[in-house]
Amino acid sequence: MASNLDSALQETLKRDSFTFRGIYAVSFVVFLAVAVVVQLLPLQWRTWFPGAEGGQTLIGDVRSAVYTFMSYLT
């Protein structure tokens, strides 16, 4: 009985981890696409993304914005 519960728990954790990674990857690509397009235009995009204000690098700011966005989902 306990082994069934352990395997069910492991399967649930694996599925949740896969879902989290999928949402993170899609969000990162969307945020990165917006940041790259707006970077080519003379606009201040960092103020649009929560957590990306005052950063120095494009990828670091996008990663920070995605982590902030993901925290709202949980």
Phi-psi map region of 51: left, alpha, beta (phi>0 left; psi -120 to 50 alpha): left
- What was the pLDDT predicted at 29? 93
Q: What is the pLDDT of residue 3?
A: 65
pLDDT at residue 26 in the model:
92
Mean pLDDT of 65-74: 80
For the segment 12-65, what is each residue's pLDDT rounded down to a tens digit? 878 878 888 888 899 999 989 988 888 888 877 777 777 767 777 778 888 888
| Residue ranges covered by each domain of the chain | 2-73
Task: Write down the residue that tokens 């949740």 correspond to.
Answer: 16
